[in-house]
Each structure stands twice: as C-alpha cells, then as structure tokens.
Structure 1
C-alpha cells in the first residue's frame, strides 16, 4: 500500500507535529548530535564543581555556533557541500586522506557514546553486561540508519531528544530553584584556575560541533531549502534548545551533586533522595537515549564526508552513506569493548575525553574551510566577512585551549 493510500484517522493529531518536525527537525537532529555521553557528564561535572558560575558560557556558545551554521547554511542553499569545496581547494588525494582520518576520529564520539549506552543498558535491564549492551546499542544504531528516508530518521531522533528534554525539565521544575543565584550565573565571570578554564572550554566543545556543519552543507537535497530563512529559524531553534537543555543539566547538578568526576549514576543519585526511587532509572534512561541518538547522528557527518571526498553525489540514506556509517558503528563498538576490557578508563571518562579529541582535530579544519568557501561563493559585505573571520579565529583559539585542558585532564586521571 502506498503512503497516498494509507488511512490516518482524523482524530490523530499528526499534522501539527509533522509540520514542526519538517520545520525544525534538522535543528533537533543537531541538538541530539551535540547532547551525547560527553555533554551529559561534562555538564554535570561543571554544575557540581562550579555551581552556576559558567551558565553565561552557554548563550555565548549559542552565538558562536549560529555564526558557524550561518556559513554552512549558506553553502546548503547552493547545494555546495563543504567537503566538495575542500576537494576543489586541495585536490582529490589529500581530501581522501583527510576524509578517512576525520571519519576515524569522528567515530571516537561513537566509542564514548556506545560505551555509556552499554553501561546504561546493563544498569536498566537484566542484561548486566556492559559489552553486550554496547553491541546492542550499535545494532539499534544500524537499524536507525537503515530507515534510509531522512524524514523518518529526523522524526525518530527528534522524538528521542524531546524525551530527554522533557525528563530534565521535569527534574529541574521539581527542585526549589534559587532564581537569583541561577540568573547571576549568566553574568560573565572568569578565574585563572585550570579546572575552571577546562570546564569553560569543555562547554564550548560540546556545543560547537563540526559534524553538524558537514551535515548541514550537504542536506539541501533532503530539505529542499534554497533560501537562508528556513535554515536560520531551524538553526536557532535547535541551538537554543540545546542551550536550554544544557542549562537544565548544570542547574540540576549544581543543586544536587558533590564536586568530583561523575560516574554513570552519580548525577542521578541525589535526585533519587529528592524525588523518590523512580528518579535514578529515569536519569539513566535519559543518558541512554542521549548517547544512542548522538552516537548515530554524529556519524551521519561521516556518511556525507567519505563519499563526497571520492567526488560522489551523496544523498542522506543512499548506499555509500549507509555503508560508511555502519562500518564506523561496528568499529566504534569494537573499540569501546576493547578499551573497557584492556584499560582502566571508564565509559564516563571516555565520554568526557572523546569530544575534546574531536574538537581538537576536526573543528579548526572545517571552520577554516567554511570561511574560505563562503569567501569563494558569496559576495558578503565586509562586516559579515569580519564576523566570520573573528569566529574562525576563535575556533583556533579554542583548539589551543582544548589541547592544554585535555592534557591537564588526562595527567590528572593518570
């Protein structure tokens, strides 16, 4: 039976949600990619150690991310993927090497997410085996990729991230919020403490997310948007959504957690004392959903990256896209199991470290490519070129600071 012949009861309220996902589903996909294992625990760690002091970094990250998405969105309007620009600028051979290297680095995100997903499944189910849990999470990720049709995948991931958001909003509203102290956290504040600076850089690293720029610059055949208006609205809703969700995690953690590197369940343990026994499994469920959607959605960037490096026209869900993502999922699950078996690193520590590694390597490459691609294809006014230049320089400053903070964090753990 064709979709045109399908009968949908008139009382089902499907048209409103369908229009919402069509308009803002891409932004929600970007939010789901951002909010994975690393974000949950980096944000929890930030709230536990620094209270509300770093809330101001979230709207700043929103502005920076909007500028980056403005550059990738403009490329989408003319259907010029950023990888195609890179291939034309540096040649086919170097682009292929770069694409394979970045795809390999990109699956580090999936390693951390599937490790945490495995731990969450082991906690929530009678499975009681992190390795099998990670394998099952990878299998679910492959099933999601095999949906093939972008609209279906977009709707599924939108439902997941909205569920996570609802969980955290319920937890936040259930607390006795000190509104004055929370609002004071949006006043910019700095100190020289290395832990404070590490947390600050981590917040930017979990928000400014380069796989999303690859996806957006390649998505025009799926979205059919040729003007910037829909991209801007979609970007703003998606990024504002992740800022609100991130703020909720920081606030909950600031009010309930003791300082220290979190474990799988530690952000939820104080919630159990406040709300009852249901709070802890609900928190772990939110972690599971976030890690699962982020692990798979992030690799969508690689699904475009690798075929485009070989100069193949790639559409979401085609054979080259699916095989690339599925191979990386299998690799990520394999590495996750090996790392947990043969090293002392925990799934949560993987979740905290892997986003920093990705930001250190991939972000400056694609920030620079987006900047020069916009210079080539568009005649922007000087003020806009200046804005893009400042944001691009900030990405390199962020990379330098990430390297320092990552080194300090690993040395502390060792």
Structure 2
C-alpha cells in the first residue's frame, strides 16, 4: 500500500492563519455559543473529503476532470470548465490573501515593516518553494511548528482552569442570528475549504495509482477521519483559549493582542510564540492553496498537471500574485482574513453540489459511486450551507 499522507496534508492546509484567527475571534466574541458551527464543519469536511478521495482513487483523475465527465454535451463541458476556473480561482485568491495576511501579522510582530510588505516577501518565498519543488520538505517542517503551537494551546487550556460547566452551558445555547452569521460562515469556510476537495482528489489519484481500489479507499478514509478530527480538535481548543482570555472581558481582541490567550503558560513570551505559529500556519497554507488551484484549473482546461509544466506554474503564480495584491491593499488584517473565510463559505455549495453529481455517475465510478447514506449526508451539508448563505444575503438588506 502506498505511503499516502494526503489526509494530513488536507488537515494542515485548513489549519492555517485563517483557522487560528477565525476560531480566536469566534471564541473572543461569542464564547462557545458557536461551537455547534465548528462541530458541523468538521463532520461535513469528513463527508466531502471522503467523496473527493474516493473519486481520485476510483478514477485515477482529479475532481476537475470528473466535473467535465458529468455530461457529453460540449457546451456543458465548457460551462463546467469555466465554473471550475472561476470558482476555484476566486476562492483560492481570497484564501491566499488570508494566508499571506495571517503569516504577515506573525512576522510583523518581530519586525514591523507593515503586513503589506511582509505579504510581498512571503508571496515570493512561497513562489520560490513551489518553483524549485522543495516545498514538501519545508512544508513538513512548518507542519511540525503548527503542531507545536497546537500543543501549547492544549496545555494553556488546562493550565487556565476553565469553568467547564459554563463552557458546556454556552455550547448548549447555540446562536444563529444576523450578528453571528458572518462568523458562522467564516468557521465553515475555514474548515470545509473548497480547494481541498480538488487537492485531495488529485493527491489520492497520484498516490494510490495501481493499488487495490477497495483497500486504498478504506485506508484513505481512516487516515482522513483521524487527521481531520485532530485538526478540528485543535480549532476547538484555540476557540476555548480565546474565550477564556477575552469573552466577557473589557479587553477587545485585535491583531496586536491575539497571543494574550497563551499568557497563562507562556507569560510575556506568548505574543512572540503566537506570532511564530501564525507565520508557520500561514506559509504552509500559502503553498497548498495555489498548488490546489493549479490541479483544479489545469484539470479543467486539459492542461498538464505535472508540477514542472509551464501551465501548472502559471496558475499558481497567478494565485500567489493576486493574493499578494489583495493582502497588500490596506485592508484591516483580521477583517481581510475573516472575509476570506466567509467567501469560502459562500463558494462551498457550488463545488459541493457538483461533487455530489459526479459521485453519482455509475458509468465512471462503478460500485465506488455514492451510496444512499453518503448522498443524504452530502445533501444535508450542501442544503444547510446554501441556507446560511441565503440568510447572510437576506440580512444585508
């Protein structure tokens, strides 16, 4: 069996600065009243990523190629290709800006030259790592740093001696109102990341080529459930530490004091450690987002998905460049990150609906196509996110 780590790569991809920042803001402003949104996001991620991985293993192709096989009609094929390019391109550009902004916030705590300038430098680093193909080694180091940060969050939570009954009381009093809807969409968008569906399908298609498909799907499913579940637990603990530090307190959380939530363990070093972790999370995600966009766009346009092909490189370069421009445009850092996550939450239904359609193509998938339980869960996930998006739009008027 192939040594596949795609489940852990997916988990590392969504535990970026957007996740850390969004979970921190959610905990600081809403306590545990939005824990339900996070739990829903984790369960939904497991369902959708399992479909994407199964598609890659069963067909040997990525999600973009699968979308084009929905219909034999040439006009519809062109439409689906355009949709993939537009949806993933826009989504990843927004997500990339959030990744670069989050990492820039971390670096700016060490050397204040402005988050816009740091975003440009980070964009250049990400491009250099992708260009020379050594990003996997760097990514492994950065993932270790993110895990180290997560461990500190765990230790901090228990060292702070939280009121567990109060946390449970808030969790059992969920909020879903106009004030909380943007944050709910952001929590969903930072966890169920549309581009991860494309990335997971492409990675499993490559890593399990020539393997027994049934065994590969089972192995991939177990790994993904564990990795995504662990990522969700990290997000939950970040939310909890922010709640303890800021919820119901006079101090308001902003880019300059987010690290305060780690002070019970790290004291004056908290802000520096938080900044280093935010940088590691940001650089990791700023590599995976353009990589996923290249797989999706090249697959949709019948271009080579070889990492060294000109078309593949052109796509990820465009995503990084757009992310740098948006990150350097002068938006407030936390607002930019939150917007990126909310945008992903709104784009998610588009990708998820077509994933469901593809996964019901018996001609392509054979007996690996969706069974009734998978379809029901998928429809529930898509329906709920669509309703949230419509509620968000209605609340603007």
**Gap runs ≥5 in structure 2:** none
Aligned to 1:89, the other structure's residue is in SS state coil
Local SS of the residue matching 2:106: helix
Contact residue 298 and residue 305 of structure 2 kept, 8 A: yes
Give secondary structure in 1 for the equivalent of 2:133.
Answer: coil
Question: What does residue 217 of structure 2 align with?
Answer: 228
Whether 2:295 is the aligned partner of 1:304: answer yes
Q: Verify the 8 A CA contact 1:172 1:251 in the aligned structure 2.
A: yes
Distance 2:369 2:358 in 1: 16
Partner of 1:394: 381
TM-score (norm 2): 0.85
Instruction: Give the equivalent residue in structure 2 for 1:88.
Output: 69
**Partner SS state of residue 265, structure 1:** coil
Query: Using the alignment, how far apart are the partners of 1:230 and 1:319 within structure 2?
Result: 34
Contact 2:129–2:135 (CA under 8 A) maintained in structure 1? no
Q: How many residues are treated as equivalent by the alignment?
A: 382
1:208 maps onto 2:214 in alignment: no
1:329-349 Cα offsets, whole Å, 9 max, x none, are 122112321x21xxxx30110
C-alpha distance in structure 2 between counterparts of 1:365 and 1:318, whole Å:
28
CA change 1:327–1:196 in 2 (3 A) is closer
1:354–1:201 CA distance, 2 compared to 1 (3 A)? closer
Report the counterpart of residue 94 of structure 2 in structure 1. Answer: 108
Deviates more, 1:221-230 or 1:293-302: 221-230
Contact 1:141/1:296 (8 A) holds in 2: yes
Q: Aligned pair 1:33/2:13, yes or no?
A: yes
RMSD: 3.0
Q: Aligned in 2, Cα 1:400/1:60: closer, same or farther, shift over 3 Å? A: closer
1:148 shift after superposition? 2.3
Deviation larger for 383-392 or 171-180: 383-392
2:233 aligned with 1:253, yes or no?
no
Shift of residue 221 of structure 1? 4.9
* Structure 2 residue 335 is matched with structure 1 residue 349: yes
Q: Which residue of 2 aligns with 1:140?
A: 125
Over 3 Å counting, the alpha-carbon distance change for 1:124 and 1:348 in structure 2 is same
> Retained in 2: the 8 A contact 1:27–1:234?
yes
Give yes or no for contact 1:107–1:332 (8 Å, CA) kept in 2.
Answer: yes
1:37·1:352 contact (CA, 8 Å) conserved in 2? no
Q: Decide whether aligned partners of structure 1 residues 105 and 383 sit closer, same or farther in structure 2, where only a CA change above 3 A counts.
A: closer
2:174 corresponding residue in structure 1: 190
